[in-house]
Amino acid sequence: MFVRTTMLRALACAVLLPALLSACVTGRNSAPAFTYTTPDLAKGVVVGTVFESSVFEAHGARFGIVSSDPAALEGKSLWLSSHAPAGQVALQNVLPKVPTGKGSTFALQLTPGRYSVIIWLLDYGFRSRYSESSPKPIEFDVVAGKVIYLGRLDANRFLQVASIHDNFEEDIAYLKKNPLLANASIENKALEVREWWLEDALGKEIQERNRAK
């Protein structure tokens, strides 16, 4: 049963990924369509932060999300961006605070069900560079009437690697600036993913060279 379920999820991702990439290339970013602006008890809310660690200019990082039920996203793609959209709180770390970089909170209201983070990218202005397949399934469940924290989706521009990790203690102060979340009970369901590389990532090459010594 486990093998069959895993294969079905992999197939679903393979089918949905081209549409997600097409929407990214053409600029159709539907995150605002799912932004938490008016409470709907029939839906659930997911919150967190997207951050791009960068020594110099942070041009932007994005993480792509799909649903196990394509109808849940109404045929739209869903990308979370480190560039703060309207209604979200911008994050900025400058020296001496490290890592330096920029980011944004997010708060999405979604139809209950299972969702997956399946890809991430870095914007290089003239083009975007995309990640390898995730090292493991990155799934979360949306439950009606609940607010859950997914973690910090963190992209490192120099090493070209991403992680998703628990940064609740720092992020909660930013998230609570949203009036709809100020008094909300937010459940910490942070995802845990390490070493999710871009294709042909510089950091991966450095790591492999060091291991070979």
pLDDT band at 190; cut points 50, 70, 90: very high
Range of the domain at 75: 2-212
Q: Give the contacts of 95 (CB within 8 A, at least 6 positions apart).
A: none
Give the position of tokens 């081209």: 18
Nearest to 41 by CA among 146, 183, 158: 146
Position 44 scores a pLDDT of 98
Do the Cβ atoms of 102 and 52 come closer than 8 Å? Answer: yes
Predicted confidence band of residue 17 (pLDDT cuts 50, 70, 90): low
Sort strands 161-165 and 186-188 into parallel, antiparallel or unpaired. Answer: unpaired
Characterize the bridge pairing of strands 147-156 and 44-53: parallel
| pLDDT computed for residue 15 by the predictor | 47
Confidence tier at 189 by pLDDT (50, 70, 90): very high
**pLDDT recorded at residue 85:** 83
Q: How far apart are CA 109 and CA 60, in angstroms?
A: 23
| Counted domains in the chain | 1
Supply the mean pLDDT for the chain.
86
What pLDDT score does 76 carry? 85
Average pLDDT over residues 130-136: 94
Amino acid identity, residue 203?
G
The proportion of the chain whose per-residue pLDDT surpasses 90, expressed as a percent, equals 65
Rg (CA), the chain: 17
Closest CA to 99 of 155, 150, 59, 49: 155
The mean pLDDT of 63-70, rounded to a whole number, is: 93
pTM summary value? 0.85
